[in-house]
Amino acid sequence: MWEVMLPQDFSKLEVIGEGKTKIVRRMENPDLVLLEFKDAITALDGEKKDTLTGKGHINARISSFLFEFLSKEGVPTHYVSFIEPNYMVVRRLKMLPVEIVCRNIAAGSFTKKYPVKAGSRLKYPVVEYYLKDDLRHDPMMNEDHIVVLGILPSIEEVKEIKELTLKVNKSLSNFLDSKGITLVDFKLEFGKDKDGKICIGDEINGDSMRLWDKETGRVLDKDVYRQGKKLSEVLETYRECYKRIIGEEPKV
Ligand code: UDP
């Protein structure tokens, strides 16, 4: 077990990275980092940006809950512990500059790129790889690109990532189905721990998944924000997502 020692005021911990929705802080134990989930919400490569009070708590809690669930399912993740209201302690990973997307139902960019009906179930889950590179607008890659670009040393490790992604898809789809939610698609990020073991990092929540109500098709994820809905409706959607997954009201 990890011994987590934390000072009272996390804001005093040195910032070692900051993205659009999370701050990464150094911890006393060099093998761990603290992820702080912000109340920021962004879309269109950060062009659209707002503050949604309580979103940081909701997304930190959902991520922690789902990482705990996946760990129990035997999936290696960086998750260590959740700290109220919006912090997650995680193992430090060397992140791979790749986003892995897995799709069960045609939605989003998939329906823009390919001649497929939005909302149709795919014959089997499709796994896609995107290079994390803002200047190049995150180009899609195939498995060979990942090896040739030196992101992973062998095709076997690429296959390992694909198999883990499909396992996550199966476990999460079943779990969410039991909560009345269809897992449409999601994005994962992987990294290697200090022993070189491949683990899932980053976050898993309504910002990185498309979730639809099984019966009504109601959207329960960030798409409501991408669609330009009122911020009050966006927050209500995040709250509903929390309630369904965690089984209680969010604390904000
Ligand atoms: N996704 C993400 N971060 C990204 C791009 C996509 O978390 O930078 C997630 C997105 O929420 C969805 C899935 O990956 O659940 C597939 O997204 P898609 O490629 O359709 O792109 P989008 O239409 O969301 O831009």
Closest CA to 103 of 165, 55, 149, 61: 165
- The verdict on the CB of residue 85 being under 6 Å from ligand 1 is no
Instruction: Tally Cβ neighbours within 10 Å of residue 169.
Output: 19
What is the atom index within ligand 1 of the atom nearest the CA of 184?
15
User: Cis peptide before 85, with omega less than 30 degrees from 0?
Assistant: yes
Ligand 1 centroid to residue 57 C-alpha, Å = 21
Ligand 1 centroid to residue 80 C-alpha, Å = 25
Mean pLDDT of 102-114: 98
Q: Are 118 and 107 in contact (CB under 8 A)?
A: yes
Instruction: State residue 48 phi and psi, 5-degree precision.
Output: -100, 130
Mean pLDDT of 43-65: 96
Pick the CATH number of 94-229 from 3.40.50.300, 3.20.20.70, 3.30.70.270, 3.30.470.20: 3.30.470.20
Q: What is the chain's mean pLDDT, rounded?
A: 96
Q: At residue 79, does pLDDT exceed 80?
A: yes
Q: What is the pLDDT of residue 46?
A: 86
- The verdict on the CB of residue 187 being under 6 Å from ligand 1 is yes
CATH 3.40.50.1820 given to domain 10-91? no
- The verdict on the CB of residue 165 being under 6 Å from ligand 1 is no
For the stretch 202-246, pLDDT in tens is 999 999 999 999 999 999 999 999 999 999 999 999 999 999 999
| Mutational test site, ligand 1, from 101, 129, 138, 190, max ligand atoms within 8 Å of CB | 101
Give this prediction's pTM: 0.95
- The verdict on the CB of residue 210 being under 6 Å from ligand 1 is yes
| Mutational test site, ligand 1, from 187, 205, 219, 222, max ligand atoms within 8 Å of CB | 187
- The verdict on the CB of residue 109 being under 6 Å from ligand 1 is yes
For the chain, the domains span 10-91, 94-229
